[in-house]
Structure 1
Amino acid sequence: MIAVLGECVADAFTDHRPADPVGMALRVLPGGGPANTAVALARLGTAARFLGRLSHDVFGDLFRAHLASSGVDLSAAVAAGELSTLAVAALDADGRAVYTFYADGTADWGWTPDELDGDRLGPASCLHTGSLALVRRPGGEAVEEFARAVRSRATVSIDPNVRPGFATRDDYRVERWCAWSDILKLSTDDVDFLLPGVPYERACDTWHAAGARLVVVTKGAAGALISLDGERAEVPAPRVRVVDTVGAGDAFTAGLLHDLEARGLLGGRLDGLDLETAVAAATFAAEVAALTCSVPGADPPWRDRLTGRRSPGPAR
């Protein structure tokens, strides 16, 4: 089992055109990086436990239905009194989403230490977290302390998933996080924001020195850079017709963790991992991400759509 801690976000996509003075229609889809990762893991066949604060509102109902229908375990989720987070997304010419968040005082950021006791992890071999839940107040500190506490019995994976208009560079304390995480996954946009002007290889070395063993930098259509304790390799991205890139990075993370879990490599400090195996896991992850780019929104594939190695799990 892999536990994923973080936010659910209602992603509202608009068909508004600048020349249209009348108005716009919004299509709301369940999103949020951690929730997307949990869904993708479950669809691939890995038991996924979601640690989220789910609202009582209409969006909270949408999140519960979406997660449960994909096979995600919601027994560790918290019923929150606050409203859900809303993000309105506009797609640029390359299909990338630019978000405006409506998030003050919403459910995702309200974690307390009492809500994050050690039992919430359950039997998971890995905790994946990051994104806004790790930087937003008041709950970000509680999320970090929980991740530190469970490291003694689980591999810890982090995806900063930076949102430059929503949190500052100082909010993303990646070097500090590396002291208690084993896997760090970022995009090139993340690296450019966090360490502007620094080559990706040197950025990887910075985070290795801070404690992370495996650093993966996804590069969109250019594939991904894999760095394990300073040994590096490149993984190409499969060619697909891109509809949009929403959720692609989250799907990549799920594919990577799914493959490492299937190989029995999670649960500790990645002691049995070598570069060849990390590359194989990232190659599988790239296929999962590419298939997610081929459909609208964060809709990761079920395992029966994949051509690579599969493990037992739900198919559709």
Structure 2
Amino acid sequence: MFVVCGEALMDVFGQGDTPGGMALDARIGGSPFNVAMGLARLGQPVSFFGGISRGFVGERLQRALRDEGIGGDTVVPLDAPTTLSLIGLDAHGVPSYAFYGEGCADRLLPASALAQVPSTARAFHFGSYTMVVEPVAQTLRALVERERGRALIAYDPNIRLNVEPDIGRWREVLQWMAARAHLLKISEEDLALLAPGAAPATLAAQWIAQGVALVVVTRGGDGAWAWTAREHVDVPAAPSVLVDTVGAGDTFQAALLAWLAERGVLSAAALLALNAAQLRAALGFAAQAAAITCSRRGADLPRRAELPVG
């Protein structure tokens, strides 16, 4: 079983002007929530660990968990609002975000909630802003420390400077996670923020030296790179009719994890043993999944039947 840790929120899209203001379309989102949904749709048993509001918006998030087949025993109901992420799309379908989340449930996950997380999970995924804002970040870091010697730890920084504008904080958490994560997936855009001008291969080598078994850099329409201590591969993007890129990176991560789970590659040693052909297959599968999401409005992640078997 996977446990995906982090935020669940509402992505709110502008739908154009109305006589009295604007029409809005609220859709379930949050990077970790999307990864959990992606894993469930790809046939993987998964639970979501995070704080969710007891209000009507939180109830909708809880219903989405149930509808998608995501385990909710690790959800922590809290008397706090739900974060709203306002999304505007440019002419190319690329999103910009404005977050309204101070004092919201996803940021208030207490350390006492760790008792709800089973010690039988095979893999954990962490990412996005809940790793850098308190008190939730301290709770999640405690979970990483508890589980890293037993289960696979996957991490995607998914930087949002309009949530935490101090890039130094993101660098600090990435450095901390690089000594504890087994799979580090990061976008080229995030690399440019974290280490302007640095060569991805150089950064990957540094992270591998710190203990990461597999580093993956997603490059949007240019595909993806992957490194282990023994291999480096470059995979092109899968063709797609672009609607928007919301959820594409989360889809890639969920599909990559699902591919690894289907083949029993959920340990640092198993990741290190992957050869170049296997890495290309893993990244190709993830790229195909991301292309499907890009062809649909919002974070509408694919199901297993939409992707090739084997």
Q: TM-score, normalised by structure 1?
A: 0.92
Match among 30, 50, 71 for residue 28 of structure 2? 30
- TM-superposed CA distance for 1:60, in Å, is 0.9
**What is the DSSP-based 3-state SS (H/G/I as helix, E as strand, rest coil) of the residue aligned with 1:15?**
strand
Letter in 2 for 1:286: A
Q: Whole-Å Cα distance in 2 between the matches of residues 230 and 9 of structure 1? A: 39
Q: What is the aligned partner in structure 2 of residue 141 from structure 1?
A: 138
Percent identity over paired residues: 36
Q: Whole-Å Cα distance in 1 between the matches of residues 182 and 276 of structure 2? A: 15
Q: What is the aligned partner in structure 1 of residue 60 from structure 2?
A: 62
Q: Whole-Å Cα distance in 2 between the matches of residues 267 and 75 of structure 1? A: 25
- TM-superposed CA distance for 1:171, in Å, is 1.5
Letter in 2 for 1:57: G
Letter in 2 for 1:98: S
Q: What is the aligned partner in structure 2 of residue 314 from structure 1?
A: none
Q: Whole-Å Cα distance in 2 between the matches of residues 45 and 245 of structure 1? A: 23
Larger mean CA deviation between 238-247 and 259-268 belongs to 259-268
Deviations 1:237-273 (A, max 9, x none): 1111010000010000000000101111114543543
Q: Whole-Å Cα distance in 2 between the matches of residues 62 and 188 of structure 1? A: 33
Structure 1 residue runs without a partner (length 5+) = 311-316
- The question of 1:196 aligning with 2:193 is answered no
Q: What is the aligned partner in structure 2 of residue 150 from structure 1?
A: 147
Q: Whole-Å Cα distance in 2 between the matches of residues 106 and 264 of structure 1? A: 37
Q: Whole-Å Cα distance in 2 between the matches of residues 295 and 16 of structure 1? A: 19
With over 3 angstroms needed to count, the CA separation of the structure-2 counterparts of 1:303 and 1:21, relative to structure 1, is: same
8 Å CA contact 1:155, 1:182 repeated in 2: yes
Q: Equivalences for 1:93-104 in 2 at 5 Å? A: 93-104=91-102
- TM-superposed CA distance for 1:56, in Å, is 1.1
Q: What is the aligned partner in structure 1 of residue 281 from structure 2?
A: 280
- TM-superposed CA distance for 1:58, in Å, is 2.1
Deviations 1:83-130 (A, max 9, x none): 11111010122211111000001001112221113x503422100011
Q: What is the aligned partner in structure 2 of residue 257 from structure 1?
A: 257
8 Å CA contact 2:76, 2:109 repeated in 1: no
Larger mean CA deviation between 65-74 and 151-160 belongs to 65-74
Larger mean CA deviation between 265-274 and 61-70 belongs to 265-274
With over 3 angstroms needed to count, the CA separation of the structure-2 counterparts of 1:192 and 1:21, relative to structure 1, is: farther
- The question of 1:126 aligning with 2:123 is answered yes
With over 3 angstroms needed to count, the CA separation of the structure-2 counterparts of 1:300 and 1:240, relative to structure 1, is: same
8 Å CA contact 1:10, 1:84 repeated in 2: yes
Deviations 1:143-162 (A, max 9, x none): 11211211121000000000
Deviations 1:20-50 (A, max 9, x none): 9952111000000000000010000011111
- TM-superposed CA distance for 1:210, in Å, is 2.4
8 Å CA contact 1:164, 1:193 repeated in 2: no
- TM-superposed CA distance for 1:193, in Å, is 0.5
- TM-superposed CA distance for 1:303, in Å, is 1.2
**What is the DSSP-based 3-state SS (H/G/I as helix, E as strand, rest coil) of the residue aligned with 2:257?**
helix
Q: Whole-Å Cα distance in 1 between the matches of residues 265 and 118 of structure 2? A: 18
Equivalenced residues, count: 306
Letter in 2 for 1:134: M
Letter in 2 for 1:252: F
Deviations 1:269-295 (A, max 9, x none): 435433332221111111111101111
Q: What is the aligned partner in structure 2 of residue 313 from structure 1?
A: none
8 Å CA contact 1:228, 1:275 repeated in 2: no
Q: What is the aligned partner in structure 2 of residue 9 from structure 1?
A: 9
Q: Whole-Å Cα distance in 2 between the matches of residues 16 and 230 of structure 1? A: 51
Q: Equivalences for 1:1-316 in 2 at 5 Å? A: 1-16=1-16, 23-117=21-115, 120-167=117-164, 168-172=166-170, 173-229=173-229, 231-269=231-269, 270-306=271-307, 308-309=308-309
With over 3 angstroms needed to count, the CA separation of the structure-2 counterparts of 1:21 and 1:192, relative to structure 1, is: farther
**What is the DSSP-based 3-state SS (H/G/I as helix, E as strand, rest coil) of the residue aligned with 1:78?**
strand
Q: Whole-Å Cα distance in 2 between the matches of residues 21 and 187 of structure 1? A: 40
8 Å CA contact 1:51, 1:78 repeated in 2: yes
8 Å CA contact 1:16, 1:25 repeated in 2: yes
- TM-superposed CA distance for 1:68, in Å, is 1.6
- TM-superposed CA distance for 1:175, in Å, is 1.7
Letter in 2 for 1:46: Q
Letter in 2 for 1:5: C
Letter in 1 for 2:50: G
Q: Whole-Å Cα distance in 2 between the matches of residues 210 and 140 of structure 1? A: 21
**What is the DSSP-based 3-state SS (H/G/I as helix, E as strand, rest coil) of the residue aligned with 2:22?**
coil
Q: After TM superposition, what 4+ stretches of structure 1 lie above 4 angstroms from structure 2?
A: none
- TM-superposed CA distance for 1:65, in Å, is 1.8
